[in-house]
Amino acid sequence: ALSVEYVIIGHSERRQFFGETNGSVNRKVKAAFNTDLKPIMCIGESLKIRESGKAEEFVMNQLKECLVGIDEEYIVDLTIAYEPIWA
């Protein structure tokens, strides 16, 4: 048996090439918690958004949408990886 504890969700390449959305990330985070996996949720903005001066607003919106309906008790087991696409 595998001893998998963590799962990466919302990586920028998944968002870019497979069309993952904040909504699908939200569903996957919930599914991870329901199967006793600890999600590593990736968030971050593009260079265009950063240069527009709206990076903080964009990332905060990502967080809100990705965490809709997730109970506070689960948040302690969630790792948030800031992964800006421009970096």
Residue 72 lies in a domain: yes
Tokens of 20: 């993952």
Question: Which of the following is catalytic: 11, 56, 65, 73?
Answer: 11
Residue 57 lies in a domain: yes
Instruction: Give the span between the Cα atoms of 63 and 51, in whole angstroms.
Output: 20
Q: Respond yes or no: is residue 11 known to be catalytic.
A: yes
Question: Which of the following is catalytic: 20, 65, 73, 83?
Answer: 83
Q: What is the pTM of this model?
A: 0.91
Residue 87 has pLDDT above 90, yes or no: no
Residue 87 lies in a domain: no
Q: Which domain holds residue 35?
A: 6-82
Residue 76 lies in a domain: yes
Residue 70 lies in a domain: yes
Give the CA count within 13 Å in the CB-facing half-sphere of 20: 23
Average pLDDT over residues 1-22: 94
Per-residue model confidence (pLDDT) at position 81: 98
Residue 63 lies in a domain: yes
| DSSP code for 2 | -
Residues 6 or more apart whose CB falls under 8 angstroms from that of 18 comprise: none
The β-bridge partners of 42 are 81
Tell me: the pLDDT tens digits for 27-82?
A: 999 999 999 999 999 999 999 999 999 999 999 999 999 999 999 999 999 999 99
Residue 27 lies in a domain: yes
Tokens of 81: 């990886």
**Number of domains into which the chain is organized:** 1
Per-residue model confidence (pLDDT) at position 7: 98
**Average model confidence (pLDDT) across the chain:** 95
